[in-house]
Amino acid sequence: MHKLYIILSYCLIPIVFVNTFIRVLIKKEDKNRFKERFGQSTLDKPKNKDLIWIHAASLGEFKSSDFIINNYFETYSILVTTTTKAASEYAIKNYSNKIIHQFAPYDILFWINKFLKKWEPKLVIWIESDLWPNTIISLRKKKIKSIFLNARISPKSYERWRFFSSYYNYIIQSFSAVFAQSKNDIKRIKSLSNINVQYLGNLKLSKKKYISFDSNTSQNTRIMIASTHDNEEKIILPYLEIVAKKYPLCEFIIVPRHPERSSRIFDLLKSRNLEVNYYSKKINENCKFIIIDSFGKMDECFFKSDIVFLGGSFTKNGGHNPIEAARAQCAIITGPNVFNWQNLYEEMNENKACYMIKKPKELEVIISKFIENNNLLKNYKDNALNYSNKTFFEEQKLIEILNKSLENHA
């Protein structure tokens, strides 16, 4: 099966070249760095330290690697590969003194071999669900120890892999150790393979070291609309308008999941005659709605907000991680579709650390309650912060495992 995959991957090379060229033209690939996708590194490997390679495909996975980076960057060189420009920009802006960033090479064998020959990692940490057969199997053949951390397999991916379970088992057996991010993921991975799957919790819930931000010092209530997806603003905007009219001193910050949607959100608000501007532009005092039109501002906006509606919960995206908002001591509201974090939200709702609403019109009701009842707002903010202080990931145990892996490789 793997030989067939290798042949198919070589056959796809012309398409890969054309696709990369198109992505450069539409600015989804960095025109100055796209050669990294073909295994041509633009930086030199440091000579004085052994190297740990962390692969974190997108921005969310990269943020979850913060805990590992902060524990090892002084002792080891840390190479982080991602596949998206957003993750690249965030990494370079916030971690340039701690890591080397490269775009991950495509999963074509000779590009992978060129990449591995250049960097010679001592340990590879693969984060989440982005399985690349050529890369992972090459690590085993070159006797490079690799750990699959925060492993997950979505129900849809599981259904596809069921038809190729023997190949999935062949790939995942290449890892020295596998740590799933949930009990359901353990069940799905075990049903496809005979590898030993362990559980430390969800790495995305580890206690990351936040950059220091000032909290909201404004006398106005600041409401953040976070991680919204296509058409979600259209669903909730009528109810935010009611709040804006009832409480003229309210300020709204909209942080879409994908900032490239900012212009569409801007046009939507303008079509309803609302005062709106981009964060990147000069903001006048009468502007009620601010759209964050760049990456990397989410954490800062959490700390500057009183109330947060977490998006992806009135669409079919399954909601987003509430713990970062909770650690910023926000009063949290979410819609009903939170299957990615269902247990977490239900427990927070029971502990009055968030509000789970079923219909968009309830958003206006709950925000109004928070604005009119300062004690209620304070209780939900405090409860969210207290809940976020729970242990969701066994950080010390992971450090022990990584240290042992590095020592055994010495």
Tell me what pLDDT residue 294 has. 84
Q: Where in the chain is the domain with CATH 3.40.50.2000?
A: 222-388
pLDDT of residue 409: 60
What is the structure's pLDDT at 210? 55
| Sheet of strand 276-278, all strands in order from the earlier edge strand to the far edge | 276-278, 289-291, 251-256, 222-228, 307-310, 331-334, 355-356
Nearest Cα neighbor of 76 from 99, 103, 102 is 99
| Sheet with 123-127: strands ordered across | 100-103, 77-82, 51-55, 123-127, 145-151, 177-180, 197-199
pLDDT per residue, tens digit, the chain (410 aa), is 899 999 999 999 999 999 999 999 988 899 999 999 999 987 889 988 999 999 998 888 998 899 899 999 999 999 999 998 888 988 998 899 999 999 999 999 999 999 999 999 999 999 987 889 999 999 999 999 999 999 998 888 899 999 999 999 999 999 999 999 988 899 999 999 999 999 999 998 887 655 555 555 566 899 999 999 999 999 999 999 999 999 998 999 999 998 889 999 999 999 999 989 898 886 666 688 999 998 778 989 999 999 999 999 999 999 999 999 999 999 999 999 998 898 899 999 999 999 999 999 999 999 999 999 999 999 999 999 999 998 889 999 999 999 999 987 65
DSSP string, 320-367: ---HHHHHTT-EEEE-S--GGGHHHHHHHHHTTSSEE-SSTHHHHHHH
Q: What is the pLDDT of residue 410?
A: 55
Q: Which of 103, 388, 109, 59 is nearest to 227 (CA)?
A: 59
- CA dist 347 and 223 (Å) reads 23
pLDDT at 220: 83
List the alpha helices (DSSP H) in 1-108: 2-11, 13-25, 59-64, 66-72, 85-95
Q: What per-residue confidence (pLDDT) applies to 216?
A: 59
Pinpoint the residues of the chain covered by CATH 3.40.50.11720: 27-203+393-408
Distance of CA 278 to the CA centre of its chain: 23
Q: Which CATH architecture has domain 222-388?
A: 3-Layer(aba) Sandwich (3.40)
Phi, psi of 226 (to 5 degrees): -110, 140
- Could you give the CA distance from residue 84 to residue 258 in angstroms, rounded to a whole number? 12
* Both structure tokens of 257: 């999941």
Which pLDDT value is given to residue 305? 95
Q: Residue ranges of the alpha helices (H) in 65-164? A: 66-72, 85-95, 109-119, 133-141, 155-161
Strand 251-256 to 222-228 pairing:
parallel
Q: In this structure, which amino acid lies at residue 25?
A: L
Q: How far apart are CA 260 and CA 263, in angstroms?
A: 7
Domain 27-203+393-408 has CATH 3.50.30.20: no
CB-CB neighbours of 13 under 10 Å: 14
- Residue 286 exposed, middle or buried by CB count within 10 Å (0-12, 13-18, 19+): exposed
| Cα–Cα distance, 281 to 242 (Å, whole number) | 26
